[in-house]
Amino acid sequence: MDAVPVISRGHNVAVLLPPVPEAVRPLLAAVTARLIVLTPDADRAVQVAAALAPAFAASGGRVVAVTGHKRGTHLLAGEPQVACVAVLDALALLRASALPLRGYAAIALAWPEALDTDAAAALEAVMAEAERDAQRIIITADAGSTAQHLIERYAFKAMTFGFPPTEPSEDAPPAPSGPVGAARYVVAPARQFEDARRRALDALAPDRDEAVIVAPPPVSRDAALALVRVAGDTAPVIVAEPWQLGWLRALFAPLTPLPVATAADAEERKVDAERARLTRLAEADDLGPELMVLAPLLTRFDAAVVAAAALRLARTTRRGTPVESGPAPAAPSGAVAKLWVGIGRKDNVRPGDLVGALANQAKVPADAVGKIEVRDLFCLVEIRADQAERAAKGLTGMVVKGRRLVARVDRGPGAGAHRPPRRV
Tens-digit pLDDT profile for residues 336-391: 899 999 999 898 888 888 888 888 888 888 778 888 888 989 999 998 888 899 89
Residue 182 is predicted with a pLDDT of 92
183 membership: H or E segment, kind and range: strand 181-187
Confidence (pLDDT) at 330: 41
Q: What confidence tier does 174 reach under pLDDT thresholds 50, 70, 90?
A: low
Selected residue with higher pLDDT from 265 and 392: 392
Given phi > 0 = left and psi -120 to 50 = alpha, else beta, which region is 178? left
Task: Dump pLDDT digits (tens) for 219-258.
Answer: 888 889 999 998 888 889 999 998 898 889 989 999 999 9
The mean pLDDT of 54-66, rounded to a whole number, is 89
The domains of the chain, with CATH numbers, are 3-161 (3.40.50.300), 181-261 (no CATH), 283-317+332-424 (3.30.70.330)
Strands 159-161, 82-86: pairing is unpaired
Least confident of 69-73, 267-271, 331-335: 331-335
Work out whether strand 407-410 and strand 336-341 pair parallel, antiparallel, or are unpaired: antiparallel
Tell whether pTM > 0.85.
no
**Cβ neighbourhood burial of 342 (10 Å; 0-12, 13-18, 19+):** middle
Mean pLDDT confidence for 69-80:
83
Confidence of residue 169 (pLDDT cuts 50, 70, 90): low
**Dmax of the chain from CA atoms?**
113
Q: How far is CA 73 from the centre of its chain?
A: 30
Residue partners of 368: CB distance under 8 A and separation at least 6:
332, 383, 384, 386, 387, 391, 421
**Residues 40, 126: Cα–Cα separation, whole Å:** 13
pLDDT, one tens digit per residue, over 256-296 is 999 887 666 667 777 777 888 888 777 766 677 777 777 77
Short-list 226, 278, 218, CA closest to 250: 218
Angle at 179 between CA 177 and CA 183, to 5 degrees: 155
Higher pLDDT, 422 or 311: 311
